[in-house]
Structure 1
Amino acid sequence: METQNPIPCLLIFFPMFFIVYLIAYFIVFRTWSPKIRPEASSCLISLAHGTPAVFLSTYAILADPATGFASQNTRFQNTVLDYSVAYFLTDLLHYIIFFPSDVLFIGHHLATLFVFLTCRYVASRGAFAILSLLILAEVTSLCQNVWTLANARRRDLEFAAKVYDLLSPPFYVLYSIVRGLVGPYFVYRMGAFYVGGEADGLIPRWVWVSWIVVVMSAISVSILWISNLWVELFRARTGNLEKKTR
């Protein structure tokens, strides 16, 4: 199925995300504090990637009725993978330049790029699994980025504080369901397929094993992150309740 040279796609998508980042940093958030401008700019390119990636991935999967965990990637599926590779490369540069000590996020981006690149360039199969995981990862992107921007300004903007307080509970619920329930279930099905030998001779074992390890690690970190946020929210709401009852 693969007849398209992937390089031109990356040459289009990478500059696109880089330009969006520059526009965010120098125009959209130019009046924001230098401490939070980089993070806000990262949120904007994440917005430019996340929700579109969900729709593109969904279409790429549905457009191929024969797709499966070991199916050969279609041309459009590879294009969507290129799209995400370009985003993560741009955001990786952001972290290396502005937050070089943030080893967790840099490691996350490198691991994610490894998964996309091996699916795209090494195996040329398994896009159904990787794009499905991309959907699960990015379906909360819009909500999460708005929440992140509101969190960055909530101490100096009353509106941002209201958005943050209003958005936190539903965002936490949605994120918990996707990352704590749906994600692990999908990885279980994915792992059962590969361990069962269905991909033998199609996808190198070291490739799919590395995919499972990376995804399980990412889900574990996500569950830990959202658990900490739930604890913080509970403490904050309990503290406010105690103040009102005094």
Structure 2
Amino acid sequence: MNSPISISSIPHLPLFFSMFLTIYFTAHFLIFRTWTPKLRPEASSCLISLAHGTPAVLLASNALISNPTHTFSSPNTDSQNTVLEYSIAYFLMDLCHYLIFNPKDILFIGHHLATLFVFVTCRYLVGHGAYGVLVLLVLAEVTSFFQNVWTLSNALRAESKVAAQVFDVLSPPFYALYSVVRGFLGPVFVYRMVGFYLSGEADGVIPRWVWVSWVSVVVSAILVSIVWIWNRWVDLYRERIDVIDKEKKVI
């Protein structure tokens, strides 16, 4: 059995963390220095999220394609471990952000801790199962770019007409994409994942408590995502109804 820790990949985690730390500080003290103290941390968090999301999707997709014979219990390849470390570094950095600026946001802090548990155990504890974890990473981050633009425009729309317009135009397609990915594709893939693990094919390399923990984290994240996007659709519907009512009153 290959060692789950590759000597050649050990420097990647501190390197990636230093990169995200630099991006965060650059955003906070240079790019968004004229923004209000309330918005600067959130904008900086969005910037490191942008630096993680799309690159993580591309890196994970490449790592998956380069190993077409993978299963849910296959040994992690070096490229898959690199992607895991890239994501571990991002979530560690963003977790620091929340602990400092939003320590009461238990939902996001819990999400980051749970995600880190999955990535860390996959990368450093069992050294297997990166296939399923990275597919879920792709599904989670494929909407990252749109979500961060949406978040920034939402934060600024009260002060900027351009931001308000971006928010209004972006919301429906973003909600639709998010609904398909988190509400359909994610659950279908998790169903396949659970079926594989229940068959016992991974018992020799991934302890049962590990994959049960992974599935619990993923299912919880999907349920929270579904509730979140449902609330966004409700908000959008109410906003559109309010606009129609105002137009009727003017007429």
Q: Match of 1:170, SS? A: helix
For residues 205 and 10 of structure 2, what CA distance do their matches in structure 1 show? Answer: 24
Cα offsets for 1:16-48 (capped at 9, x unmatched): 000000001001111111111101000000000
Query: How many residues align structurally?
Result: 246
**Residue in structure 1 matching 2:227, options 211, 224, 229:** 224
In structure 1, the partner of 2:131 is: 128
In the alignment, what sits opposite 1:156?
159
Code of the aligned partner of 1:245: K
Specify the SS of the correspondent of 1:233. Answer: helix
For residue 129 of structure 1, what is the amino acid of its counterpart?
G
The answer to whether residue 211 in structure 2 is matched with residue 208 in structure 1 is: yes
Distance in 2 (alpha carbons) for counterparts of 1:193 and 1:4:
27
Q: Provide the residue aligned with 2:146 in structure 1.
A: 143
Tell me the residue number matched to 2:23: 20
Task: Give the distance between the partners of 1:202 and 1:230, measured in 2 at CA.
Answer: 42
Q: Which residue of 1 aligns with 2:116?
A: 113
| Alignment partner, residue 6 of structure 2 | 4
Q: How does 1:146-185 map to 2 (within 5 A)?
A: 146-185=149-188
Aligned to 1:198: 201
Partner of 1:88: 91
Partner SS state of residue 11, structure 2: helix
Secondary structure at the residue paired with 2:37? coil
1:87 CA drift (Å): 0.2
Gaps of 5+ in 1: none
Pairwise CA RMSD of aligned residues?
0.9
Moved more, 236-245 or 209-218: 236-245
Structure 2 distance, partners of 1:10, 1:49, is 14
Task: Tell me how far 1:66 sits from its aligned partner.
Answer: 1.7
TM-score by length of 1: 0.98
Post-superposition offset of 1:202:
1.4
Report deviation, 1:4: 2.3
Deviation of residue 206 (structure 1)?
Answer: 0.5
Q: For 2:36, which of 33, 38, 62 is the aligned residue?
A: 33
1:150-173 CA-partner distances (Å, limit 9, x unpaired): 011000000000000000000000
Identity of aligned residues (%): 62
Q: Which amino acid aligns with 2:166?
A: V
